[in-house]
Amino acid sequence: MFETKTVNGIEIIEISNAWGKAEISTLGAHVMSWTPVNEKPVLWMSKKSYFEPGKPIRGGIPVCWPWFGGVKKPSHGFARIEKWDHAVYELENGATMAVLTLDQAELADFPFHAQLAVTMGKSLEVVLTVVNKGETPVTVSGALHTYFAVSDIANVRISGLDGAAFEDRRASAAQVTGHVQDGEVAVDAEVDRLYTSTTADVIYSDLGTGRSILVEKLGSYSTVVWNPWIEKAKAMPDFGDQEFRKMICIEAANAGSDSRILIPGVSHTLAQKITVL
């Protein structure tokens, strides 16, 4: 089942089925919430998030594309601030699939087609497929920039990245490259890590709730783990000062050396599948 409502001129698709509930904004093809039955919400959303055309939403699953980070403005690309078209399908297995598409954007400098398919069944699957509709190859980067809700950041342990090389992308980092993850990731300060060569699935455990979540990915050799911590949270107008305690971003990325060359007519797919264990 699904319904749509309009807030600030932006359509929100509300999905519900036997597996749970989800909300998807057509601004940015952005999954704003996902709550499986008998579970607390899996995704985090800032109480101070903007929700207006032209501004990114802070929380849920931002679609960062066709570039990752601040290499150009706006940060993380234009896909997350554009209005996407949508269609919703009820699948025979009881899952619901919303398909969002984007074919043009003022800031685009090559013709493209982007599609985000969000399927809510037992898991939440988010599949971004992009095609270069032009005649010359282009290089793109991006991420499914998922914000997970946690009881307290001190309770979070992330496994699956042990031994993976990472770049430390904090402004304060003495050295960006040359780091290797040792054991689980725990967060007790700002973390902005680009794991540069990993296809691994990740599990994060929340020791406060006892809940573990499996985060699988496809089409990605890079994973980003981000928590802004105190100072950076304070510096962001759309992020509450204490909200960093309640979230962790685990992102399936095509970032840095994992940027992709899109040959004309050939598609690339980046996907994330989230399951409460």
Q: What is the binding site for ligand BG6 (CB under 6 A)?
A: 56, 69, 75-76, 145, 169, 192, 224, 226, 251
Nearer to ligand BG6, 100 or 224 (CB): 224
Least Cβ distance, residue 101 to ligand BG6 (angstroms): 23
β-partners of residue 112 are: 132
Q: At closest approach, how far in Å is the CB of 69 from ligand BG6? A: 6
Select 62 or 160, whichever has its Cβ closest to ligand BG6. 62
CA-CA-CA-CA torsion sign (73, 249, 270, 115): negative
Residues 6+ apart with CB under 8 A from 95: 17, 19, 119, 120, 121
Nearer to ligand BG6, 56 or 60 (CB): 56
- Alpha-carbon Rg of the chain, whole angstroms? 18
* Per-residue CA distances from 233 to 86, 239, 246 (Å): 33, 6, 12
Q: Known catalytic residue: 251? A: yes
Residue 56 beta carbon to ligand BG6: minimum distance, rounded to whole angstroms? 6
**Smallest distance from the beta carbon of 10 to ligand BG6, in angstroms?**
18
Catalytic residue among 76, 86, 145, 167: 145
CB 260 within 8 A of CB 70: no
Closer by beta carbon to ligand BG6, 63 or else 224: 224
Dihedral, 150, 151, 152, 153 alpha carbons, nearest 10: -20
Q: Which residue has the tokens 């074919």?
A: 103
Beta-carbon contacts of 209 under 8 Å, excluding residues fewer than 6 positions away, are: 40, 151, 155
H-helix segments, the chain: 229-235
Single out the residue of 163, 164, 152, 147 nearest to residue 220, CA to CA.
Answer: 164
Nearer to ligand BG6 among residue 83 and residue 145 (C-beta): 145
Residue, CB closest to ligand BG6: 75
Q: Smallest distance from the beta carbon of 268 to ligand BG6, in angstroms? A: 19
Q: Which of 167, 216, 243, 251 is catalytic?
A: 251
Q: Is 86 a catalytic residue?
A: no
Query: Catalytic residue positions?
Result: 145, 251
